[in-house]
Amino acid sequence: MHGLMMDVPLSIPLIARRALTLYGSRPIVSRRPDRSLHRSTYHEVLGRSARLARALRRLGVKPGDRVATLAWNHARHLEAYFAIPSIGAVLHTLNLRLHPDDITYIATHAEDQVVLVDKVLWPLWEQCTGRVAARHVVVMSDDGIVPPGTLDYETLVAGEDDGFAWDDLPEQTAAAMCYTSGTTGRPKGVVYSHRSMTLHALGAGMVHVTGLSERDTVLPVVPMFHVNAWGLPYACGMFGAAQVFPGPHLDPASLLGLLADERVTLTAGVPTIWLGILQALDAEPGRYDLSRLRAMLVGGSAAPSAMIRGFRQRHGLHVLHLWGMTETSPIGTAAFLSPALLDADETTQDAYRAKQGRAAPLVEIRGRSAQGLIPWDGTTMGELEVRGAWVARQYYGADGPDDRFTADGWFRTGDIVTIDHEGNMTIQDRAKDLVKSGGEWISSVALEGALMGHPDVAEAAVVAVPHAKWDERPLAVVVMKPGRTFDEAALRGLLEGMFAKWWVPDAILPADAIPKTSAGKFLKSALREQHRAHYGVADESARGG
C-alpha cells in the first residue's frame, strides 16, 4: 500500500518562491571590492535572478548545461545561485584560490558552457581563458566596463523582464556541482540534486545545526565557491535570514567591522579565519560590539578547543563546531550539546564543543577498522563512513566501481574517528595525516589542538616524518603570535603533561607561516615534503599529497 500524500518535488524554486512571498523585504548586503556597501533585499535579488534566468536561456543555456561562477560572496553570486538551477542548468562554483591550471582542468572536466566572472577576478580567468571551451563569458562589473569579447552581466540583466515562473523541477535533476579541493588527489566532481540541496537547506536550518530563522542575519565567511557556502545561502532563503556578504575583504578587521555594523547573529568559516579574528579581538577587547552574534560556525578542519574556550571566556562568543565534506553537501555532524551536558561544568562542555559532534538529522555515521565496525566506546579508532539524503553516491564522470563507496551504500570519508556511546564523533585525523609510529597511531589533530592551546602560539601543524626505527615520528611546526618568543622546552613540557611520552613530537620547529590550502586549511602535504628528511630518512616511504 502506498502513502497518499502529495509528491511535491523538492527543488530550488520552492525556496525562491518562499523567500519572495514571505521574506521579500529582508536585507541582502554585500561589500564591493572598493569597500563600499551594496544594500538590497530578497525581493530585488530574486527579481534580478529571474531576469538572469531569462538571459541565460536567451544565451542558449539548456537544461543540464553547466554554468560556472568564479566569484566572491556577494548578491550577484546569490542571484546566480537561484537562477542557474531554476532553469534546469547546473551551477558550477569554481574555486578562485586554485592555480589557473587546476581551474582550467576543472572547468574543462565539467564542460562549463557559460562562465560568470567577477571583474576583479578577470586577471585570474585570463590565465584560463582560451584553454576552457566556454561559449560565453559574462563579467560582473561595478563600472559597466568589461573586457573585449565578454558580456556585461548588468546589461544582460537589464535587457530582460522579471516574468519568470519559478516552476518546480524534477527533484533528482542536477542543481549544482563542486569539485573536491584535491588535497587527496585529482579534484573530483560532486553533483548535488535539487532534492539534496533542498533537504540540506532544511537540515542546515534546524536547531541542531544553526536554528535559523528570520530573526537572523547571517554572514558566511565560508566562500560561495566552497561547498555552496555550507548551504547557507539556500538555508537563509528558506528561513528568511538576512545575508551579509563580505566580498573579497576577509581580513579580521574588515570582517569584525561588518559583523558589528550589520548586527550579524550567525557567521561561518574555517578555523584559520577564527584564529585570526580571536587574535584581533584579544588585541583590542571591546572595540567591536558583537552583542548580537549568537553563534560562530566553525568547520573544515578541527577547531582547537583553546580557541573555542578563548572566544567564550574572553569575549562571550559561542562557537559551534561542524564536520562535513564536499561529498556531504557539506553538513554531516554538529557539536550541539545534549541536555545531559547542559548541567555539566564549562570544562566538560568545552570538551564536547571541540568534538565534531553528532550526526545531523537524516545523516547516519559509523566507523570501520580492520576488525569491522568499531564500537561506540569513545576510544576505538576507525574510518568514518556516512550515509544520507545529501551525501554523494558517486563522483561526476566516474566509470566503474570506486572504493570510496561501500557495497552497502555508505561513503568512506578517509577521516579516522572515535565515536562515543552517545554518538559524539571526534576526528582523530585524516587517514593520510595520521602518524604511524611503531605500529601505533598518533593523532596529529590532538597534538595541534594542544599546541594551539598555548597562549603564545598562533598556529601549529603536526606531520608524520619517516623515521628509521619507528617508521614515522611526529614533527611539529609552530607559528608564534606577534612579539612572542619561541620556546621549545615550554611547548614540549605542555605536550608531556597532556600525552603519552611517545606521542610527543621529536622535533618542534618555529616557522613564519604554515602553508594553507585553497580552503584555508593547513597544507600538510607541503609541510611533509619540506621536512621529510628531518629524521634522517628520505626514501620512497615518505608519503605524498
Cell digits for 341?
551536558
How many beta carbons lie within 10 A of that of residue 420, not counting itself? 15
Q: Is 274 exposed, middle or buried (0-12, 13-18, 19+ CB in 10 A)?
A: buried
Q: How far is the CB of 332 from ligand ADP (least distance, A)?
A: 8
| Complex with ligand ADP: residue 18 or 368, whichever CB lies closer | 368
| Residues 81-140, interacting with ligand ADP (CB under 6 A) | none
Contact residue for ligand ADP among 302, 331, 360, 434 (CB under 6 A): 302
| Complex with ligand ADP: residue 324 or 367, whichever CB lies closer | 324
Contact residue for ligand ADP among 73, 183, 265, 428 (CB under 6 A): 183
| Residues 203-242, interacting with ligand ADP (CB under 6 A) | 227
| Complex with ligand ADP: residue 38 or 412, whichever CB lies closer | 412
Pairing of strands 136-140, 27-31: unpaired
Angstrom distance (rounded) from CA 418 to CA 447: 16
Nearest to 389 by CA among 201, 168, 188: 201
For the CA atoms of 159, 165, 170, 172, the dihedral, rounded to the nearest 10 degrees, stands at: 50
Q: How far is the CB of 299 from ligand ADP (least distance, A)?
A: 4
How many beta carbons lie within 10 A of that of residue 471, not counting itself? 16
Cell digits for 426?
571526534
Contact residue for ligand ADP among 427, 450, 457, 465 (CB under 6 A): 427
Q: How far is the CB of 274 from ligand ADP (least distance, A)?
A: 12
Which listed range, 148-156, 193-201, 261-269, 324-332, lies at the site for ligand ADP (CB under 6 A)? Answer: 324-332
State yes or no: is 383 an active-site residue: no
Does residue 299 touch ligand ADP according to CB under 6 A?
A: yes
| Complex with ligand ADP: residue 403 or 539, whichever CB lies closer | 403
If binding means CB under 6 A, how many residues of this protein chain bind ligand ADP?
23
Catalytic residue among 154, 262, 327, 459: 327
Give the residue closest to ligand ADP by C-beta.
181
Catalytic residue among 44, 441, 470, 529: 441
Q: How far is the CB of 518 from ligand ADP (least distance, A)?
A: 8
State yes or no: is 180 an active-site residue: yes
Does residue 184 touch ligand ADP according to CB under 6 A?
A: yes
State yes or no: is 62 an active-site residue: no
Q: How far is the CB of 413 from ligand ADP (least distance, A)?
A: 5
Catalytic residue among 111, 364, 380, 436: 436
Angstrom distance (rounded) from CA 138 to CA 117: 6
State yes or no: is 410 an active-site residue: no
Catalytic residue among 69, 104, 180, 517: 180
Which listed range, 69-77, 396-404, 411-419, 476-484, lies at the site for ligand ADP (CB under 6 A)? Answer: 411-419
Angstrom distance (rounded) from CA 276 to CA 273: 5
Cell digits for 294?
549568537
Q: How far is the CB of 389 from ligand ADP (least distance, A)?
A: 18
Cell digits for 540?
620512497
Pairing of strands 425-430, 242-245: unpaired
How many beta carbons lie within 10 A of that of residue 217, not counting itself? 22
SS (H, E, C) 295-352: EEEECCCCCCHHHHHHHHHHHCCCEEEEEECHHHCCEEEECCCCHHHHCCCHHHHHHH
Cell digits for 127?
590565465
Contact residue for ligand ADP among 326, 329, 418, 444 (CB under 6 A): 326
3-state DSSP assignment of residue 85: helix
| Residues 477-536, interacting with ligand ADP (CB under 6 A) | 519, 521
For the CA atoms of 193, 199, 205, 207, the dihedral, rounded to the nearest 10 degrees, stands at: -140
Does residue 428 touch ligand ADP according to CB under 6 A?
A: no
Residues found in the chain = 545
Contact residue for ligand ADP among 173, 265, 356, 424 (CB under 6 A): 356
Q: Which amino acid, 408? A: D
Strand stretches in 242-294, DSSP E: 242-245, 266-269
Does residue 173 touch ligand ADP according to CB under 6 A?
A: no
How many beta carbons lie within 10 A of that of residue 432, not counting itself? 17
For the CA atoms of 438, 405, 182, 334, the dihedral, rounded to the nearest 10 degrees, stands at: -80
Which listed range, 94-102, 169-177, 260-268, 321-329, lies at the site for ligand ADP (CB under 6 A)? Answer: 321-329
| Complex with ligand ADP: residue 322 or 478, whichever CB lies closer | 322
Pure H helices in 452-504: 488-496
Q: How far is the CB of 242 from ligand ADP (least distance, A)?
A: 26
Contact residue for ligand ADP among 47, 240, 269, 300 (CB under 6 A): 300
Does residue 325 touch ligand ADP according to CB under 6 A?
A: yes
Which listed range, 23-31, 300-308, 372-380, 487-495, lies at the site for ligand ADP (CB under 6 A)? Answer: 300-308
Q: How far is the CB of 363 from ligand ADP (least distance, A)?
A: 14
Residues 6+ apart with CB under 8 A from 416: 381, 382, 383, 384, 427, 428, 429, 430, 431, 434, 441, 443
Contact residues toward ligand ADP (CB under 6 A) are 180-181, 183-184, 227, 299-302, 321-326, 356, 413-415, 427, 430, 519, 521
Catalytic machinery residues: 180, 327, 436, 441
